[in-house]
A and B are shown apart, each in its own frame.
Chain A
Amino acid sequence: MNGIPVLTVLIALPALGALVALFAGKRARAVAMATTLAALAVSLVVWWHLPGDGSIGLVERWAWAPSVGIEYHLGADGLSALMLVLSSIVALMSVDAAHRVHRQPNLYFALVLLLESGLFGTFTALNFYHWFLFWELGLIPAFFLIKLWGGGNRGPAATQFFIYTMAGSAALLISFLGVFLATKSMDFVDLAEMASKGTLEQQVVAHLGPVMTWLAMGVLAGFAVKVPLAPFHTWLPAAYAEAPSPVTMLLTGTMSKMGVYGLLRIAVPLFAPQIAAMRVPLLVLAVVTVVMGAWASAAQKDLKRVFAYSSVNHLGYCMLGIFALAVPGASLASQATALNGVILQMFNHGITAAALFWFVAMMQERSGGQRGIDEFGGLRKPAPVFAGLMGIVLFSSLGLPGLNGFVGEFLIFRGVFALSWVSATVSILGLLITATVILTVIQKVFAGPTPEKWSGFADMNGDDRLAMAPVVGIMLLLGLLPRLVLDTVNPTVVNLLAHWRF
């Protein structure tokens, strides 16, 4: 784009903002707000300047340490750009929601911006070394945001989150070293090219012996922890519940997408045949994630844990859509449908889940920190606008047609039915349970008689409405006009599928 390294600018912007915020004292939130707004603008610029054929554009490539295969290599296709836009929106929402940070606001917002920089880097890096740098860079601010501003049980939650993710990263790193040893390359594009020609496996076998399956498992483990895929999800409920709600918005809205993105950008392109060979256990795990996530969310009393498990359930659909692609003899049309659904679901879940946790944050502010489902009741009367807007978001999460949540799940199910009807059928259970859970929340929190203590529950004021309106607007817009996203994503999907060797 006219020689401007727009992706580098995008990554550097929040990092610089973090530095300014650190020394901005009480004005840190304003700095963070300005930075995230500017980042949103730049990521939209990226979105509008993608190549039309779905290939990787806006490429920046410089030698870094050639003898160990390290290059500075950035680029974006429809998938990356959508994740950039999502991260920008969720970061903006998170900063907006965090207006009650009184303790060390400068450090808080600096960490949030650093996290945003890590996200941008992860979604655009095309060389393992510096992709991994950003992958880890996102983790450290997240740890401290939980550890320093979290709830009562924050210490163990933060540690568990950190150790799980690091163990996953170590597995990922070891596998990638194996790949590097065999191919002398760390470049995602080159490696994907080799994999699609079949030379990747030949080289690995020639250099290291028959270890391709092990390498695939290491990479999958790294991403499975992050997404998460059962049984690697156990860190998630505690981390989501103990993190301050604006941070939970970032965790669920964007960081879980790092895992799915990694599967699509790295695991599947490089290890498609191995994933195809393991598709049965992987599909079983995806279905378990879907059903167990929904089931566990039904058993929770804490709203944050309800939505945490519901996130597990929603990301399970993404896993289902990805692993179903590996079924032999699949038609390209069904694969494309499912993959479009997966990518759309990533975006939709990001927006919707972040909005849900934002509402929980508002409920906590208005109720002196309470967030048990059974604590509330009849909020519809004192706070009709609050109930109405949160209702829309809840229905989006439920997957009501006309709202964004529906389109992604519908496409996934339509694609998966043609590919593996058994897993699709069992997963429908997840949809049903989620619907029950969401309806129960609506019923218990908003319907029924209003207890005395909530008769003064403050409705959303002008600022709140102004902040939430665009979010709900996106949900409606994408529910009615999903092609706004799909028109850009579909060429990328076609392009990706053409290179994968299932």
Chain B
Amino acid sequence: MLAWTIYLSFAGALAEALLPKSRPALARWFALAVAVAGLVLAAVGFATYGGHGRVVFADAAWVPALGIRFTLAADGISLVLVLLTGLAAVAGVLFSWNIEQRTNEFFGFYLALIGGVYGVFLSFDLFLLFVFYEIAIVPKYFLIAIWGSTRREYGAMKLALYSFVGSAMVLIGLLTSYAMAGSKSTGLVELAQANLPVSAQMWLFPLVFVGFGILAGMWPFHTWAPTGHVAAPTSASMLLAGVIMKLGAYGCLRVAMSLYPHGMDPWGFSVLGIGSWRAVFALLAVIGIIYGALVALVQTDFKFVIGYSSVSHMGFVLLGLMTLNQIGMTGAVMQMFSHGVIAGLLFAIVGRIVYERTHTRQLAELETMNLGKRMPFAAWSFVIAGVASMGLPGFSGFIAELQVITGAWTTSPWWAVSVAVGIVVGVAYTWRALQKAFFSDRHTDPHLNEPGHELAAITWPEVTGVVLLLGASLAVGLYPRVLLDVVEPAVNALLAGGVR
């Protein structure tokens, strides 16, 4: 049934193109209906999942000569990410309710993007996964280039180029493994069992890991992320941070780590204490966490703060993956969900709720606007979202980061301690942005509180979107077993299947 999330989204995208152009409201409601249907399917699939192993729901020969199959399946990790995609898709439509320019096309691209994302998370054939991965990137480019804002052509082009370089690396890896395996199959399970020579895995692993890692915002290949986030229209930044970056991390886990487990073995020598690709990527992740946080601390543009915070938070995912133990990797998947929900929410508040009313994202200008009083809903939503983003207990971020740090500590205490520094800086940048944007005392214009200066009222799609995303983060924070019970067996299966 989960396969229908993909079909439905692509069908919705096509239908958007056929709907009358003169009726934007129809396009909106239709997109919302498709997104909600996707979420319902994802939720039902999540709830009815028996709890163990991989469930295959579509498997047909596609290009028999090359052994390519149309295999759709899900394990616990896929399910969590599909659920996240469903949530982000609905919230994204809600926060795009004010798109008036070429509404049909916007939602058409939007739904195509969502369909591609569902496809990546559900593909268990490497070639199929790659196809969906590319499908997700193309609409992304148009969403930014047409409906974006600040330096949109530059942002869109940079994102596209980075993605394509990453894809090219992945493609080389894909073709090489296929050739070397000689099993005449591109199925992920078959390739993982092909036992490629260790020497080949040693270079394939970093190639493919970096290829996907680029999209996950891995330092130092993260620079597309802040500019892309800022240039994108709100719902696209939400998807970019919320699910597209997860595509990268998911690829790292599902492809690079599962197919080339020996690529993470020690080299046999060490340079400055680093003796394997695993240590290299863990170090890059730790640098990303701290660097992203420090850079976020000095941004003057509100959206850039959130953009760099995404780099920092995705560092937790990559670090969690590199711990190669159950708790750390579970934490990585939890962090993917958590960051998807929270970053989406932060971008929505900054880009939609605040920017559409103030027409500025400069913290220095927002400071003078007394927004805490004039937009209490936005202010307090940001407070709660900020608290969640800082990783305070009660929200999903806490349990995720807790697990990642615990896992990292088992591997090397220094990782854990360095990450703690990142967390403290995270508190600082979130709080700085919060204070400047909403609770500053520098009101230069005394007339702001008088009638005639009211900001447009908060609309129902905005409230619904905020409640949806905050509710998800809170639910997982207060009752983490909802996800843990599904993720843990899947991670165990991966670890037992060779990923060490």
Give the interface of A toward B (CB within 8 A): 64-65, 67-68, 70, 129-130, 132-133, 136-137, 140, 144, 147-148, 154-155, 159, 162-163, 166-167, 170-171, 173-174, 177-178, 180-181, 208, 211
Contacts and interface: CB of A to CB of B under 8 A. Distances in A.
Interface in B381-414: 383, 387, 390, 392-394, 398-399, 402-403, 405-406, 409-410, 413
A155 B431 CA distance: 11
Contacts of A174: 405, 416-417, 420
B310 to A, nearest CB: 21
Given A132-B393, A163-B431, 10 more contacts: A65-B399, A67-B488, A68-B484, A133-B393, A140-B383, A148-B372, A154-B441, A173-B402, A174-B405, A174-B416
B399 to A, nearest CB: 7
Nearest to A148: B439
Nearest to A211: B413
Interface pairs A-B: 7 shortest CB-CB: A133-B393, A65-B480, A166-B427, A174-B420, A136-B392, A133-B394, A170-B424
Interface in B462-500: 479-481, 484, 488
B276 interface: no
Contacts of A64: 479-481
Contacts of A167: 424
Contacts of A166: 390, 424, 427
B394 A137 contact: yes
A48 to B, nearest CB: 31
A414 to B, nearest CB: 40
Contacts of A178: 409, 413
Interface size class of B (residues with CB under 8 A): 20 to 34
B480 A70 contact: yes
B475 to A, nearest CB: 13
19 contacts: A64-B480, A65-B479, A67-B488, A68-B327, A68-B403, A68-B406, A68-B484, A129-B393, A133-B398, A147-B435, A147-B439, A148-B372, A166-B424, A166-B427, A173-B420, A174-B405, A177-B409, A177-B416, A208-B409
B431 A159 contact: yes
Scoring B372, B387, B399, B420 by chain A CB atoms within 10 A of each residue's CB, the highest score goes to B420
Contacts of A144: 383
Given A68-B327, A159-B435, A177 B394 contact: no
Nearest to A66: B481
Interface in B81-120: none
B439 A163 contact: no
A177 B78 CA distance: 28
B423 interface: yes
A178 B405 CA distance: 10
B392 A180 contact: no
A65 B481 contact: yes
Contacts of A211: 413
B15 interface: no
A130 B424 contact: no
A178 B402 CA distance: 11
A180 B76 CA distance: 25
Contacts of A147: 435, 439
A137 B424 CA distance: 17
A171 B390 CA distance: 15
B169 interface: no
B135 interface: no
A132 B427 CA distance: 16
Contacts of A70: 480
Contacts of B441: 154-155
Given A67-B484, A155-B435, A211-B413, A170 B393 contact: no
Nearest to B423: A170
B428 interface: yes
Contacts of A132: 393
Contacts of A65: 399, 479-481, 484
Q: Is the interface of B mostly helix, strand, loop or mixed?
A: helix
Contacts of B393: 129-130, 132-133, 136
A474 to B, nearest CB: 34
A391 to B, nearest CB: 38
B449 to A, nearest CB: 12
B424 A180 contact: no
Contacts of B390: 166
Given A68-B403, A129-B393, A155-B441, A163 B435 contact: no
A166 B431 CA distance: 11
A163 B427 CA distance: 8
A148 B394 CA distance: 24
Interface in B221-253: none
Contacts of A173: 402, 420
Interface in B421-457: 423-424, 427-428, 431, 435, 439-441
A194 B439 CA distance: 47
A61 B372 CA distance: 40
B389 to A, nearest CB: 13
Contacts of A181: 406, 409-410
Nearest to A162: B431
A208 B413 contact: yes
A266 to B, nearest CB: 15
Interface in B153-167: none
A221 to B, nearest CB: 12
A178 B412 CA distance: 11
A130 B416 CA distance: 21
Contact of A177 (B372, B399, B405, B427): B405
Nearest to B372: A148
A70 B480 CA distance: 10
Contacts of B405: 174, 177
Scoring B372, B393, B440 by chain A CB atoms within 10 A of each residue's CB, the highest score goes to B393
A181 B323 CA distance: 14
Nearest to A171: B420
A310 to B, nearest CB: 29
Nearest to B440: A155
A42 to B, nearest CB: 23
Nearest to B419: A174
Contacts of B387: 140
Contacts of B406: 68, 177, 180-181
B131 to A, nearest CB: 36
Contacts of B481: 64-65
A133 B402 CA distance: 13
A45 B497 CA distance: 56
Contacts of B428: 163
A446 B178 CA distance: 90
A61 B427 CA distance: 32
Contacts of B417: 174
Contacts of B394: 133, 136-137
B289 to A, nearest CB: 13
A70 B409 CA distance: 18
A163 to B, nearest CB: 6
Contacts of A140: 383, 387, 392
A225 to B, nearest CB: 12
A173 B441 CA distance: 33
A148 B392 CA distance: 21
B294 to A, nearest CB: 15
B424 A68 contact: no
B331 to A, nearest CB: 9
A70 B399 CA distance: 10
Nearest to B395: A133
Interface in B299-328: 327
B402 A68 contact: yes
B278 to A, nearest CB: 19
Contacts of B431: 159, 162-163
A171 B417 CA distance: 9
Nearest to A143: B431
A82 B417 CA distance: 36
A220 B442 CA distance: 38
Nearest to A152: B441
B413 A68 contact: no
Contacts of A67: 484, 488
Contacts of B427: 162-163, 166, 170
